[in-house]
């Protein structure tokens, strides 16, 4: 062939190949290049670029995906020109592909991309700003670890219809710009760390069908504008952080199919849901709802689940509610419902939980905890006399008394270290009470969104490599509440070990699962673990973690409860993956149980012991044994674990100086570690000081009776030889004082949100001490050094050794002034008048320290200052924000700062009658109650307003000749009257108390 013809043939073949490639690959070259870059970032090696990405062939579109599975990898093209010669990538769906790394900015190089779905992967980082130009319609990052705030530019993507960011690590407020996306039909933001109020602009989202924001840190009230969403079908506000009441406008949402609201503060009326004929799921759990269940509930004909648990509902359920027999699940646990159990419930085969109400029932078998599918645990019976225990448990016969219990929760019988853990492999049910040999278990709840909603046992997906793996390969799970009871136990002190391992959430190649299982644990009714996350505690999935707690058995029964409060993820790795999970429980006595042979000798020697007691009594009367006996008497009956001195010495390396972490009011404080790994703080007191002994016993007696997340937990004590020791939980971040203004190398960078959280936490702790605990406690020495910070910078009030027990609930005179200069209330420091308002004053000072980052008093440019004087001066100048810690710059919430400073000034008023109670303070800080306008404090400026000590300023405000002006003229209005009615110190009887003033001097 001649060269000319050969060249012509080559050119023709080349042209044909070019045409063929362009016909088989209609994507523009720049989009193919973009896909290659995305593949590199996401590590997608099986994207086959020798095949047309628009061909829908294997590698570009998942083939034969099993029904119910989400492992989908699809790249789809559309938006082609008229002859189909050029198309564009419009959808990238990569679900459950085990993708790691960050979100690829290169997605922005696909200008026609309408859908991004990266559900259930291991991606992290933030949303790239480069994506702002994409014409997205559907956008899902569900189930990853994406962090940061939602970019405001998303509000400019007017094409967006579905925005799914559930189960990530987003924080901060929602941008108001989202409210401009009028085409939005779905918002799923649950299981993140969002904060702030819902923007008012959300009232524009009238096309919403699906709105989920549960498990977040939002604030403010549930907005009334929700009534605008008349098309809404699914609304989930479980544990969102929003506050009550439930808006009355809910009655307008007639298309609701699924309504879930839980864990809101404040009281609410039952929302008007009459006429909602499409409602299938109704959850109003722990919403503070009072009153009776309204009659319209019986007419909700499509209802499949009704959950009104943990409210304050009262009254009876009438027989006319028999129309609810079509409802598969009814949960009414922990209310105040009474009367007889309706016949229609007794004959119903559906699952019903009536536990912990006031129902009366006499069954065929007498007192019962379970009848058919009805859980009746914790109810009364007609022959009960308001028993303090659990009536149906008290009738269970005991064959002797036990001193140990071992349960393999969810698994078969197994022997570990010569201890046999009993099997607990029955699946149980949605509302079940079941007896073991010397224990029982009660389970409540249904995994609503799971296809397997009746499976309450989890099994590890692969073989576990941890020690004693037989205990952890199975576990019991529950969607709401799981309670184990130890029965027929000898009364006394016990050690409770809870064995956990996260076997459902799997990590991948060193990347943590985005799933977060969060729940609370109670022992004997006291909260011992708040927002507990197994994986975080164990530093990974499929790793064992054992938590040990002391417990006191007084009625032969031990109660251990695991409770889901709506926190954490619920849809990772699949829907229904949430709720408490427990692998095993071991309970062992802290005392040595008597053997059978010992019981024989006890009878033989009883007479000799009686004689010995007589001799000891005579010796005691003569003064022998007085000191140790006094200590034993003080310790008698205290509900706390007793540690041996050997244990403490081992834990603290013989009180090594290297373990010393501070000085307490009566001695040194040491860091220690128990054999099980528990880190402790040991306060060493002097046994030679009678005052020290008294304070030591005083602390044990009160702290062991108090359980609250914002109080330091007392693990136990040691009284041996000349040692008096308190064993506390260890606080990783020391004190608030050190964090704010300690040595520079010890200070912590506390951002504004952390400071605000600390302030609210202290207020919650004091509210509990003053108003919520069974005992009424006045601390008397609230200051920054007595506020400790845990590893997450949560505040915990410490040092109750100086607390004053107020059993009579009235104003009293302290016989010994105890406190710290600068923090003490004036009436207490000068006159010895002690009420809870003294703590309120101290709280005001500490709040100013939190805002300013300064000690209560000191020197600035060689000039003496006091924070309260500075606050009043700033108030006079109208410049309160000048008090804010300069280290924060502009990174703080101005409204919150103004609120905190105003509340602090109010708390530190010179007259206790002008100070609010701590519960009102807490409401002010959380926005539930308005903060009043400034209340003048004439004493601070040396004026005499005509106020006489011992007179009620409410009366004097309008009296003739008084210079005090009415002070309830601000937003708060007559709300000050609420303080007056709640205060235990509304007036002072100065005449009757005058004879005590002399003894109140230090």
Annotated binding site, which residues? 683
Cβ-based neighbours of 798, under 8 Å, separated by 6 or more: 712, 728, 731, 786, 787, 788
Cβ-based neighbours of 189, under 8 Å, separated by 6 or more: 165, 166, 170, 174, 212, 213, 216
| β-pair partners for 929 | none
Residues in the chain: 1002
| Neighbour tally for 688: CB within 10 Å | 10
781 carries an active-site annotation? yes
**Can you say which residues are annotated as belonging to the binding site for ATP?**
683
Return the structure tokens found at 784.
Answer: 């920054």
CA-to-CA separations, 328 to 234, 280, 285, 431, in angstroms, rounded = 19, 10, 17, 11
User: Taking Cα atoms as reference points, which of 578, 558, 562 lies closest to residue 570?
Assistant: 578
Question: How many angstroms separate the CA atoms of 721 and 726, rounded?
Answer: 14
The beta-strand segments (E) located in 445-543 are 457-459, 474-477, 481-486, 492-501, 518-523, 526-533
Catalytic entry in 307, 474, 781, 839: 781
584 neighbors 546 (Cβ within 8 angstroms) = no
> 344: part of which helix (H) or strand (E)?
helix 343-346
114 neighbors 137 (Cβ within 8 angstroms) = yes
Question: How many angstroms separate the CA atoms of 185 and 161, rounded?
Answer: 5
Cβ-based neighbours of 564, under 8 Å, separated by 6 or more: 445, 478, 479, 480, 481, 518, 519, 520, 578, 579, 580
| Residue 629: φ, ψ to 5° | -65, -35
Burial of 291 (0-12, 13-18, 19+ CB in 10 A): middle
Return the structure tokens found at 256.
Answer: 């609701």
For tokens 């224990």, name the residue.
439
CA angle 400, 404, 407 (to 5 degrees): 115
668: left (phi over 0), alpha (psi -120 to 50) or beta: beta
Q: What's the farthest any 2 CA atoms get from each other in the chain?
A: 135
Torsion 280-447-529-527 (CA) sign: positive
> Helix, strand, or coil here: 69?
coil
> Helix, strand, or coil here: 857?
strand
| Active-site amino acid positions | 781
């Amino acid at each position: 062939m001649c060269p000319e013809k050969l060249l012509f043939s080559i050119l023709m073949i080349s042209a044909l190949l070019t045409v063929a490639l362009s016909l088989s690959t209609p994507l523009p070259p720049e989009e193919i290049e973009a896909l290659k870059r995305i593949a590199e970032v996401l590590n997608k090696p099986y994207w086959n670029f020798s095949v047309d990405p628009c061909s829908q062939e294997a590698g570009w579109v998942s083939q034969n995906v099993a029904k119910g599975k989400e492992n989908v990898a699809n790249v789809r093209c559309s938006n082609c020109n008229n002859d189909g010669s050029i198309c564009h990538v419009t959808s990238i769906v990569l679900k459950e592909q085990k993708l790691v790394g960050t979100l690829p900015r290169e997605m922005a190089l696909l200008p026609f991309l309408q859908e991004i779905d990266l559900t259930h992967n291991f991606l992290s980082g933030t949303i790239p700003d480069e994506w702002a130009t994409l014409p997205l319609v559907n956008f899902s990052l569900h189930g990853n670890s994406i962090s940061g705030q939602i970019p405001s530019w998303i509000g400019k993507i007017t094409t967006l219809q579905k925005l799914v960011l559930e189960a990530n690590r987003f924080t901060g407020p929602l941008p108001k710009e989202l409210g401009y996306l009028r085409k939005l039909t779905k918002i799923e933001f649950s299981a993140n760390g969002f904060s702030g109020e819902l923007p008012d602009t959300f009232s524009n989202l009238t096309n919403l069908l699906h709105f989920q924001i549960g498990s977040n840190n939002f604030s403010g009230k549930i907005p009334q504008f929700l009534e605008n969403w008349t098309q809404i079908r699914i609304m989930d506000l479980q544990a969102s952080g929003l506050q009550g009441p439930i808006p009355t406008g809910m009655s307008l949402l007639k298309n609701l199919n699924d309504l879930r609201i839980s864990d809101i503060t404040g009281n609410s009326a039952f929302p008007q849901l009459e006429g909602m004929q499409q409602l299938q799921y109704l959850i109003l759990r722990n919403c503070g709802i009072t009153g009776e269940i309204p009659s319209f509930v019986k007419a909700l004909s499509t209802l499949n689940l009704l959950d009104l648990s943990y409210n304050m509902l009262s009254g009876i359920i009438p027989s006319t509610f028999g129309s609810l027999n079509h409802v598969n699940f009814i949960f009414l646990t922990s209310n105040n419902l009474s009367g007889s159990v309706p016949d229609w419930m007794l004959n119903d085969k559906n699952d019903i939980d009536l536990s912990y109400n006031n129902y009366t029932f006499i069954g065929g078998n007498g007192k019962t905890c379970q009848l058919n599918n009805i859980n009746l645990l914790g109810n009364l019976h007609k022959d009960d006399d308001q028993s303090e225990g659990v009536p149906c448990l008290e009738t269970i016969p005991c064959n002797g008394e036990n001193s140990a219990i071992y349960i393999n929760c969810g698994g078969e019988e197994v022997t570990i270290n010569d201890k046999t853990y009993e099997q607990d492999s029955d699946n149980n049910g949605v509302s079940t009470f079941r007896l073991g040999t010397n224990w029982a278990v009660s389970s409540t709840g249904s995994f609503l969104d799971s296809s397997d909603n009746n499976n309450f046992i989890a099994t590890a997906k692969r073989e576990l490599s941890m020690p004693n793996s037989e205990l952890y390969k199975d576990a019991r799970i529950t969607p709401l509440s799981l309670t184990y009871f130890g029965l027929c136990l000898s009364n006394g002190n016990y050690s409770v070990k809870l064995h956990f391992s996260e076997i459902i959430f799997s990590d991948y190649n060193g990347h943590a699962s985005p799933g977060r299982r969060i729940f609370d644990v109670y022992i004997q009714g006291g909260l011992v673990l708040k927002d507990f996350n197994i994986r975080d505690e164990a530093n990974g999935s499929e790793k064992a973690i054992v938590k040990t707690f002391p417990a006191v058995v007084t009625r032969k029964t031990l109660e251990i409860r695991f409770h889901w409060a709506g926190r954490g993820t619920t849809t990772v790795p699949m829907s229904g993956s949430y709720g408490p999970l427990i692998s095993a429980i071991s309970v062992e006595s802290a005392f040595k149980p008597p053997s059978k042979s010992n019981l024989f000798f006890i009878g033989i020697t009883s007479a000799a012991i009686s004689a010995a007691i007589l001799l000891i009594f005579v010796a005691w009367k003569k003064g022998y044994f007085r000191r140790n006996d006094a200590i034993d008497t003080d310790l008698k009956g205290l509900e706390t674990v007793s540690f041996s001195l050997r244990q403490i010495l081992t834990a603290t390396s013989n009180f090594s100086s290297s373990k010393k972490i501070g000085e307490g009011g009566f001695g040194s404080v040491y860091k220690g570690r128990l054999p099980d790994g528990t880190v402790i703080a040991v306060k060493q007191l002097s046994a030679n000081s009678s005052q020290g002994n008294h304070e030591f016993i005083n602390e044990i007696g009160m702290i062991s009776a108090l359980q609250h997340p914002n109080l330091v937990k007392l693990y136990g004590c040691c009284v041996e030889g000349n040692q008096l020791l308190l064993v506390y939980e260890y606080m990783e971040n020391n004190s608030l004082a050190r964090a704010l203004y300690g040595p520079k190398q010890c200070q912590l960078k506390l951002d504004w949100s952390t400071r605000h959280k600390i302030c609210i936490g202290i207020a919650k702790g004091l509210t509990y001490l003053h108003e919520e605990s069974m005992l009424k406690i006045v601390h008397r020495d609230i200051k920054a050094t007595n506020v400790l910070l845990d590893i997450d910078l949560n505040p915990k009030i410490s040092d109750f050794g100086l607390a004053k027990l107020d059993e009579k609930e009235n104003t009293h005179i302290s016989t010994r002034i105890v406190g710290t200069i600068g923090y003490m209330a004036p009436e207490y420091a000068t006159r010895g008048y002690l009420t809870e308002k003294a703590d309120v004053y101290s709280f005001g000072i500490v709040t100013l320290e939190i805002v300013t980052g300064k000690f209560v008093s000191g020197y600035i440019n060689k000039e003496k200052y006091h924070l309260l004087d500075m606050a009043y001066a700033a108030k006079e100048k109208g410049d309160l924000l000048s008090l804010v810690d300069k280290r924060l710059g502009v990174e703080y919430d101005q409204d919150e700062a103004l609120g905190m400073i105003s509340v602090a000034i109010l708390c530190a008023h010179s007259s206790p009658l002008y100070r609010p109670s701590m519960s009102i303070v807490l409401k002010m800080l959380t926005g539930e109650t308005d903060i009043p306008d400034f209340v003048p404090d004439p004493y601070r400026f040396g004026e005499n307003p005509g106020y006489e000590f011992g007179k009620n300023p409410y009366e004097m405000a309008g009296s003739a000749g008084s210079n005090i002006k009415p002070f309830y003229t601000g937003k708060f209005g007559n709300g000050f009257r609420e303080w007056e009615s709640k205060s235990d110190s509304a007036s002072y009887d100065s005449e009757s108390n005058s004879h005590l003033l002399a003894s109140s001097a230090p």
